[in-house]
């Protein structure tokens, strides 16, 4: 028996006037999901807890059976996994800005003129950096979106107990990073960071990309400013924790990063974008192929488009994307046999909020031996009358493992 957790990222929503005071999911024509509902059990779910606004990262951690309040050590490590840096336990990761400083060290623009282009070339210059004082230190640096980037340092004896370099406002000096406790690890890490910041200026100030930016009257991205230090957490691998052979089918680096941290195999897909223009046929065919032909028995699938439409405030787009997923993906998924399918969202991304919210999300479980309730439509409101009542993200793996026969009895 196999199991699929299929997450429609950000699918949950609130009633929207434009859609006749319905949510996009309520308003959507979803015959295939509704058929699954009629053969399944439904309910609502709080990925973390009622009213708590989850990130996609913390929500997925919770749904995969990890306590985000324990495992989520800060944005750094998850940003790093999100840009496909293959982090290791013990690495210290930082979110960074490309910024502009002058010769006196004053930050004149924290976002380097909101640079968007050629940051990968700048990143390459940093990524090759070596520090003479720390011959064993490995520095990994990668651009993210816009002026954002990620720094990972790897060495023995490091600590995440160091301050930020970000002065928070323009017109101030890059802050010297200081240790936040008395350990030699924190002192070493702070010294390394200060050297990296200083050296980034040396490496970037005359970089061809910046020469060109200055010529075009744009602020050069001539220094990196790290913040949000976090140690890559030690995470019990999901395969040994639950005795499964698991794979991740996802579009975005952030979700793949979390699954990689959990030790899951990452399935590569061509032509997917993470947006509403993604290639749903590829996602569908990948799911069908892997479920039928691979040795994996557990899958985490994430389809991202509904979240994007929510962030962009596009009600009609969100509704239409949900309909497209129903038509292209669910029409086939619903026919899988000997598979338990747990269909849900990681969080709500209401069109009116244009960001995540703490509203619960709908849940549907379909499979061979499921107790079937009398709910007939997959929507945030209808499923609240279902046989699951209200569960939490932290229940998902336990429920799934019980259903696919992968759990052990606690007691006699």
Q: In the range 11-40, which residues lie near its own copies by CB under 8 A?
A: 14-15, 21, 23
Which residue do the tokens 């210290």 mark? 92
Choose one: 142-150, 230-238, 259-267, 395-403; the region binding its own copies (CB under 8 A): 395-403
Which residue lies nearer to its own copies by CB, 218 or 390? 390
Check residue 17 and report its DSSP letter: G
| Kind and range of the H or E run holding 58 | helix 56-63
Q: Which of 32, 34, 56, 97 binds its own copies (CB under 8 A)?
A: 56
- Shortest spacing between CB 21 and its own copies, in angstroms: 8
Q: In the range 218-277, which residues lie near its own copies by CB under 8 A?
A: 254
Contact in structure between 271 and 279 (CB atoms under 8 Å): yes
Contact in structure between 52 and 402 (CB atoms under 8 Å): no
Which residue lies nearer to its own copies by CB, 20 or 271? 20
Q: In the range 332-351, which residues lie near its own copies by CB under 8 A?
A: 350
Give the contacts of 89 (CB within 8 A, at least 6 positions apart).
232, 233, 234, 235
Q: Which of 66, 72, 242, 342 binds its own copies (CB under 8 A)?
A: 72
- Shortest spacing between CB 376 and its own copies, in angstroms: 13
Q: Does 283 participate in binding its own copies (rule CB under 8 A)?
A: no
Question: Rounded to whole angstroms, what are the CA distances from 310 to 4, 23, 64, 360, 377?
Answer: 24, 11, 24, 15, 21
End-to-end CA distance of the chain: 24
Q: In the range 301-330, which residues lie near its own copies by CB under 8 A?
A: none
Sign of dihedral through CA atoms 89, 256, 200, 136?
Answer: positive
- Shortest spacing between CB 156 and its own copies, in angstroms: 29
Q: Does 149 participate in binding its own copies (rule CB under 8 A)?
A: no
Which residue do the tokens 């640096």 mark? 141
Choose one: 106-114, 285-293, 305-313, 367-375; the region binding its own copies (CB under 8 A): 367-375
Which residue do the tokens 């929507």 mark? 379
Report d(CA 405, CA 369) in Å as an integer. 11
Q: Which of 68, 113, 233, 253 binds its own copies (CB under 8 A)?
A: 68
CA atoms within 13 A on the CB side of 310: 26
Q: Which of 133, 215, 270, 409 binds its own copies (CB under 8 A)?
A: 409
Overall residue count recorded for the chain in this entry: 412
Report d(CA 305, CA 325) in Å as an integer. 9
Report d(CA 30, CA 254) in Å as an integer. 28
Q: Does 77 participate in binding its own copies (rule CB under 8 A)?
A: no
Q: What is the DSSP string of 113-137?
A: TT--SSHHHHHHHHHT---TT-TT-
Choose one: 122-130, 237-245, 312-320, 383-391; the region binding its own copies (CB under 8 A): 383-391
Choose one: 71-79, 124-132, 176-184, 291-299; the region binding its own copies (CB under 8 A): 71-79
For residue 179, how far is the Cα from the chain centroid? 29
Q: Which of 359, 361, 366, 378 binds its own copies (CB under 8 A)?
A: 359
Which residue lies nearer to its own copies by CB, 28 or 329? 28
Which residue lies nearer to its own copies by CB, 323 or 359? 359
Q: Which residues of this protein are in contact with its own copies, per CB under 8 A? A: 14-15, 21, 23, 43-44, 48-59, 68, 72, 75, 78-79, 254, 350, 352-353, 355-359, 369-374, 380-381, 384-392, 395, 397-403, 405, 407-412
């Amino acid at each position: 028996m196999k199991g699929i957790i299929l997450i429609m990222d950000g699918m949950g929503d609130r009633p929207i006037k434009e859609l006749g005071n319905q949510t996009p999911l309520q308003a959507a024509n979803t015959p295939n999901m509704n058929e699954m509902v009629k053969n399944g059990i439904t309910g609502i779910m709080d990925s973390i807890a009622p009213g708590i606004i989850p990130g996609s990262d913390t929500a997925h951690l919770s749904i995969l059976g990890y306590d985000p309040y324990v495992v989520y050590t800060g944005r750094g490590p998850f940003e790093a996994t999100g840009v496909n840096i293959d982090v290791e336990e013990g690495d210290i990761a930082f979110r960074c800005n490309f910024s502009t400083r002058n010769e006196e060290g004053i930050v004149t623009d924290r976002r380097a003129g909101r640079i968007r282009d050629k940051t990968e070339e700048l990143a390459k210059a940093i990524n090759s950096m070596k520090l003479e004082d720390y011959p064993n230190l490995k520095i990994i640096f990668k651009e993210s979106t816009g002026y954002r980037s990620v720094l990972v340092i790897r060495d023995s004896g490091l600590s995440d107990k160091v301050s930020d370099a970000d002065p928070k406002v323009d017109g101030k000096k890059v802050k010297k990073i200081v240790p936040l406790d008395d350990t030699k690890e924190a002192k070493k890490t702070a010294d390394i960071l200060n050297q990296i910041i200083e050296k980034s200026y040396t490496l970037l100030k005359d970089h061809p990309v910046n020469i060109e930016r200055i010529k075009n009257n744009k602020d050069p991205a001539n220094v990196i400013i790290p913040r949000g230090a976090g140690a890559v957490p030690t995470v019990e691998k999901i395969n040994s924790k639950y005795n499964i052979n698991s794979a991740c089918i996802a579009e975005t680096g952030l979700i793949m990063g979390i699954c990689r941290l959990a030790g899951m195999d990452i399935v590569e897909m061509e032509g997917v974008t993470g947006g509403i223009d993604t290639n749903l046929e590829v996602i569908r065919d990948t799911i069908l192929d892997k479920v039928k032909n691979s040795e994996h028995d557990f899958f985490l699938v994430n389809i991202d488009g509904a979240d994007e439409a929510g962030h962009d405030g596009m009600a009609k787009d969100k509704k239409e994307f949900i309909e497209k997923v129903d038509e292209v993906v669910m029409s086939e998924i619903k026919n899988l046999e000997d598979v338990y399918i747990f269909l849900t969202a990681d969080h709500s991304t209401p069109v009116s909020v244009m960001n995540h919210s703490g509203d619960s999300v709908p849940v549907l479980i379909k499979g061979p031996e499921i107790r079937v309730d009398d709910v007939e439509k997959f929507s945030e409101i209808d499923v609240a009358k279902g046989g699951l009542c209200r569960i939490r993200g932290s229940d998902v793996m336990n429920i799934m493992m019980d259903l696919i026969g992968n759990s052990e009895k606690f007691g006699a």
